[in-house]
Structure 1
């Protein structure tokens, strides 16, 4: 196989986490008597890190940096305790990971979710699959900055052109393109096909097992 390693996005790609994220943020909003949002709204809030999500969720009248920082800390406290309550892996993901592991494909995760929370979710839902799990620790390094993706390549001892980046958002596709990694978008996540193609997706998956065809044809 040409491709020897895969970087997966987490939220909207491996797992549907929107309910846990929304419930945590909505609890903070309720405690401040701010309007809450639907799960559908949160699908468009996720992807650029939880602090950015907090900013999007807060009302414009209370969106200064001090309020964002305050609500972000509260949201993280709630979410840390509840980040795996409703979060589930998508249908077909485990079967795909089993196939990839059996074929010695090196697996990793790169998420804009906080590093601590990314590692916790992967440890609970996907034990023994991933060699590297990288979440957000430094704001300037979040996707679409390719730095962490390239660092993952080095740790896996693979060249970028031997890697695939699988994600559900334009930010993921931009990250892959910036790192010279094959960009593969998924349709079961939070963003539409039009966004994925517009931001550099070379392939689109309707189901996780569709990735096998790409691997076996190259």
Structure 2
């Protein structure tokens, strides 16, 4: 049985900070909330949108408005505002050539994740894509990992989760899966160690090993 590698998207395969933070800022402006510092906006990369908007906006209807405004800009231009991390294309290629089967597992809405992956030079190497549902009913990493296991038919022992935030590591641990934290994304070494990552890597070339 070939092993499965579940890969996060934002902060793992692509640097999407510009697109995500601009879409958040656009949403907050449209609902009449004051701007947030750039550091705060960057901290929102990883969690589900509603997870971040709810403590700030409180009212459920206002949260849904903000999500809609975020998606409005994201679907227009935000999905293209990213860059592939240096060495990622080669690392993904090496994993695939080495016999691993690849599945994207992201809190980004699944249609958006699919569109982005299809435009990446290595997107065709992936055997699966699992993303969040539009209504947020499937948006947290344990749910996403569970769906990836269901779709791929893999057992936790046959898969490993690779990501840059504590959410990725916690999602893997929830299912008894191995996890690898990457240090070129949006999470810190302390964050990933505290979450219980089995291994940390500092550059994409280390993923295959």
Identify whether the pair has TM-score above 0.5, normalized to the shorter chain. yes
User: 1:201 aligns to what?
Assistant: 197
User: 2:174 aligns to what?
Assistant: 178
**Aligned length in residues:** 207
Is the 8 Å Cα contact of residues 14 and 82 (structure 2) preserved in structure 1? yes
Whether 2:66 is the aligned partner of 1:67: answer no
1:85 to 80, 96, 114: 80
Closer/same/farther in 2, CA of residues 85 and 37 from structure 1, 3 Å limit: farther
Whether 2:110 is the aligned partner of 1:110: answer no
Is the 8 Å Cα contact of residues 24 and 41 (structure 2) preserved in structure 1? no
Deviation at residue 211 of structure 1 after TM alignment: 1.4
Q: In 2, Cα distance between the equivalents of 1:32 and 1:141?
A: 25
1:134 to 125, 130, 137: 130
User: 1:15 aligns to what?
Assistant: 14
Segments of 5+ residues of structure 1 without an aligned counterpart are 214-218
Q: In 2, Cα distance between the equivalents of 1:121 and 1:136?
A: 14
Is the 8 Å Cα contact of residues 132 and 144 (structure 2) preserved in structure 1? no
Segments of 5+ residues of structure 2 without an aligned counterpart are none
TM-score (norm 2): 0.89
Whether 2:160 is the aligned partner of 1:161: answer no
Whether 2:28 is the aligned partner of 1:29: answer yes
Q: In 1, Cα distance between the equivalents of 2:139 and 2:65?
A: 21
Deviation at residue 3 of structure 1 after TM alignment: 7.0
Q: In 2, Cα distance between the equivalents of 1:206 and 1:3?
A: 25
Is the 8 Å Cα contact of residues 6 and 164 (structure 1) preserved in structure 2? yes
Closer/same/farther in 2, CA of residues 55 and 154 from structure 1, 3 Å limit: closer
